[in-house]
């Protein structure tokens, strides 16, 4: 078989599988819609408690022109998420329910000119004892804003000060950390559950037996199937990114190209596991137990649903060797820590080892029927 | 039959452990012939066919097609034969035209989808999905797929099993048309009538052996010469003929 013919066959098979894929409602549901639904749920959970801006309300007791314009300044400064409340007691109830991180009170007389003729006064930050940290954050942000106002009204910039600079460009949210886990879930859906569910079913109907009567080689079939899964993965992960950025303010730190290359390598690795199980199994009775054995650790110990860095240390060490772990770790490091591919050597190395092992196995056990 | 054999099967044997499924059978097939392998279920028909197609390892003996040894040139053999396996299926959610295109690509050729579908009477169904076809249409499409690379030999494993009488007769017409283009056809069946109307020669298999091989006419003649008398009075028509007559011979889609 000439290389040209070899590739031509592989290409036409890829087209066949890809078309079939996008016609299948179940496949689209599990690989595109289901991760999106999870994303919306996750985004909803993390968007609330882990938003980068504290949730506050402003109680203006001064009712002066100064306090009014100060409130406006705060609103337009976009450092807080400001909710309106009907009064201090309403605000306290809301804080008790963790709807608010702090209450900013502008007391009576806030903004009254002092002896030098400058507006003066002490804004007050009230916070719940249970979330003191959030309260401190509100206070320090407010302090910074007041410092700016002071400089403006007095025209004197303070000789000494602190410039705080976050290690990342913008504050990272919990959502940013959990997002790569969802990418991992999408990889599992396409690369693992796809072949595990599809191939035994095709063997059962005899659709694969038909391939065997032709000169097509298992490798061509596997490559075409892989390529069509990658095509579906681009749509799936692309829509996850779109929804994450548009609706949940996802911050992408790193380089999209690095992310894409790394995700592709991860997809190839995960697909190897799906191919090994689905290519070997003749029916669901064989594929289901083995599929669960492979998929459950990846699903629960690799950081799909809870980040691995939140696990106990010993578990982090153990779970680090699960194939999907370096994939999700690496994607997270690119997305949140600006890492490039060279810095991800350990993750790429571990994935490389898994790729060699699993494809060696997958070719050995592949069966057409 | 005087022409040189196109397919030679010699001492073909298949064993699974102690079990002998095919017991050293030999026969020749001449070019352009429709050759039938008859026998009850479990006689070894499919195993024989699959060894000839290079799909099953040959325990002993040899098969040669067009001077090519099957066992040592499986890939070469696959590109000159067309195979319709028993109860084969196709990928769902793929159109007939797309499937033909993909199967042609596996042989490194381009499919003339319209021509292939016309041959099997499905020219208007290029955009249909296999799951929308009736049993007879599916079998005919399956034959179209087997013809996608213009093979020299066509293997049909029980092509009419499970089909209704109209669909079966329609398939017979199709096999005759294919034969007219010079393709050698090897088929298995357990319908004697099918073998009688379709096959130039038949081999009757039982328990892994070929117990008779000749033209249907000669086999019947020999039987009568041995003094055989049919149990029943020979009817000029059968109930199936009545059925076909009443419902119309044309295939119902």
Q: Write out pLDDT tens, residues B169-225.
A: 889 999 999 999 999 999 998 888 888 899 999 999 988 899 889 898 888 888 888
Phi, psi of A256 (to 5 degrees): -65, -35
Interface contact A8-B105, CB threshold 8 A: yes
pLDDT confidence bin for A330, thresholds 50/70/90? very high
- Interface test with chain B among A4, A20, A214, by most B beta carbons within 10 Å: A214
Q: Are B49 and B159 in contact (CB under 8 A)?
A: no
Going by C-alpha positions, the residue among B192, B190, B193, B169 that lies closest to residue B243 is B169
Strand ranges, E, within A31-134:
55-60, 81-83, 102-106, 112-113, 119-120, 124-126
Q: Are A49 and A174 in contact (CB under 8 A)?
A: yes
Q: How far apart are CA A114 and CA B148, in angstroms?
A: 95
Gap between the terminal Cα atoms of chain B: 39
Going by C-alpha positions, the residue among A267, A181, A240 that lies closest to residue A36 is A240
Q: How far apart are CA B97 and CA A118, in angstroms?
A: 83
pLDDT of residue B190: 84
In three-state secondary structure terms, B213 is strand
Q: What does the pLDDT look like over A284-293, one tens digit per residue?
A: 888 899 999 9
**Looking at A193-202, A307-316, B102-111, B204-213, which range is the least confident one?**
A307-316
pLDDT of residue B1: 46
Nearest beta carbon to residue A210 from set B85, B101, B107: B85
Q: Are B62 and B10 in contact (CB under 8 A)?
A: yes
Q: Is B87 on the interface with A (CB under 8 A)?
A: yes
Interface contact B93-A11, CB threshold 8 A: no
The per-residue pLDDT of chain B, averaged, comes to: 88
CB atoms within 10 A of CB A329: 22
**ipTM of the complex model:** 0.85
Q: Which residue has the tokens 């169904």?
A: B125
pLDDT of residue A222: 94
Going by C-alpha positions, the residue among A220, A236, A229 that lies closest to residue A12 is A220
Q: Are A281 and A199 in contact (CB under 8 A)?
A: yes
Q: Are A225 and A198 in contact (CB under 8 A)?
A: no
Q: What does the pLDDT look like over A78-112, one tens digit per residue?
A: 778 888 888 888 888 888 887 888 888 888 888 88
Phi, psi of B188 (to 5 degrees): -110, 150
Mean local confidence (pLDDT), A36-41: 83
Residues 6+ apart with CB under 8 A from B178: B119, B143, B147, B154, B185
Helix (H) or strand (E) holding A332: helix A324-337
Q: Is B83 on the interface with A (CB under 8 A)?
A: yes
Q: Tell me which DSSP letter residue A130 carries.
A: G
Question: Is the confidence at residue B252, as pLDDT, over 70?
Answer: no
Q: Is A199 on the interface with B (CB under 8 A)?
A: no
pLDDT of residue B187: 93
Q: Is B75 on the interface with A (CB under 8 A)?
A: yes
pLDDT of residue A352: 95
């Amino acid at each position: 078989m000439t290389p040209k013919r070899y590739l031509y066959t592989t290409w036409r098979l890829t087209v066949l599988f890809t078309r079939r894929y996008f016609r299948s409602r179940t496949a689209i549901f599990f690989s595109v819609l289901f991760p999106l639904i999870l994303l919306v749920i996750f985004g909803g959970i993390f968007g609330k408690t882990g938003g980068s801006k504290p949730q506050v309300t402003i109680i203006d007791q001064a009712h002066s022109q100064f306090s009014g314009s100060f409130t406006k300044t705060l609103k337009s400064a976009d450092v807080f998420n400001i909710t309106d409340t009907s009064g201090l007691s309403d605000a306290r109830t809301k804080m008790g329910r963790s709807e608010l991180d702090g209450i900013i009170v502008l007391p009576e007389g806030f903004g009254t000119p002092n002896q030098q003729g400058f507006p003066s006064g002490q804004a007050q930050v009230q916070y719940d004892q249970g979330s003191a940290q959030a309260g401190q954050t509100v206070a320090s942000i407010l302090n910074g804003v007041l410092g700016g106002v002071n400089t403006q009204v007095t025209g004197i910039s303070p000789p000494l000060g602190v410039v705080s600079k976050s290690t990342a460009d913008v504050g990272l949210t919990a959502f940013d950390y959990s997002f790569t886990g969802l990418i991992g879930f999408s990889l599992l859906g396409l690369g693992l559950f796809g072949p595990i569910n599809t191939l035994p079913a095709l063997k059962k109907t005899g659709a694969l037996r038909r391939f065997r009567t032709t000169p097509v080689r298992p490798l061509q079939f596997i490559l075409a199937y892989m390529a069509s899964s990658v095509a579906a993965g681009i749509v799936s992960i692309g829509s996850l990114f779109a929804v994450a950025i548009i609706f949940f303010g996802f911050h992408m730190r790193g380089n999209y190209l690095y992310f894409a290359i790394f995700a592709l390598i991860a997809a190839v690795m995960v697909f190897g596991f799906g191919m090994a199980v689905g290519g070997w199994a003749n029916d669901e009775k064989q594929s289901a137990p083995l599929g669960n054995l492979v998929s459950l650790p990846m699903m629960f110990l690799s950081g799909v649903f809870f980040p691995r860095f939140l696990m106990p240390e010993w578990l982090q060490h153990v779970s680090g060797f699960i194939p999907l772990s370096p994939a999700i770790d690496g994607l997270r490091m690119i997305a949140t820590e600006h890492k490039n591919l060279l810095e991800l050597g350990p993750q790429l190395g571990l994935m490389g080892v898994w790729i060699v092992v699993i494809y060696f196995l997958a070719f050995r056990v592949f069966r057409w029927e | 039959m005087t022409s040189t054999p196109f397919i030679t099967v010699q001492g073909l044997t298949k064993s699974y452990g102690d079990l002998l499924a095919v017991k050293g059978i030999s026969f020749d097939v001449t070019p352009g012939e429709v050759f039938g392998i008859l026998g009850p279920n479990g006689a070894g028909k499919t195993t024989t066919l699959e060894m000839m197609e290079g799909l099953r390892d040959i325990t002993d003996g040899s098969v040669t097609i067009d001077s090519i040894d099957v066992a040592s040139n499986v890939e070469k053999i696959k590109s000159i034969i067309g195979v319709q396996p028993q109860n084969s299926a196709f990928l769902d959610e793929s159109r007939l035209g797309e499937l033909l295109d993909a199967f042609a690509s596996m042989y490194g050729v381009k499919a003339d989808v319209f021509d292939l579908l016309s041959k099997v009477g499905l020219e208007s169904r290029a955009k249909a999905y296999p799951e929308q076809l009736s049993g007879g249409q599916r079998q005919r499409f399956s034959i179209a797929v087997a013809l996608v690379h213009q093979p020299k030999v066509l293997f049909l494993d029980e092509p009419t099993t499970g089909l209704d009488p109209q669909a079966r007769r329609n398939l017979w017409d199709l096999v005759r048309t294919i034969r007219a283009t010079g393709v050698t056809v090897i088929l298995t069946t357990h319908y004697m009538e099918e073998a009688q109307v379709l096959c130039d020669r038949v081999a009757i298999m039982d328990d892994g052996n070929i117990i008779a091989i000749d033209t249907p006419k000669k086999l019947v003649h020999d039987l009568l010469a041995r003094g055989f008398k049919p149990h029943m009075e020979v009817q000029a028509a059968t109930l199936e003929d009545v059925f076909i007559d009443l419902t119309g011979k044309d295939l119902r889609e």
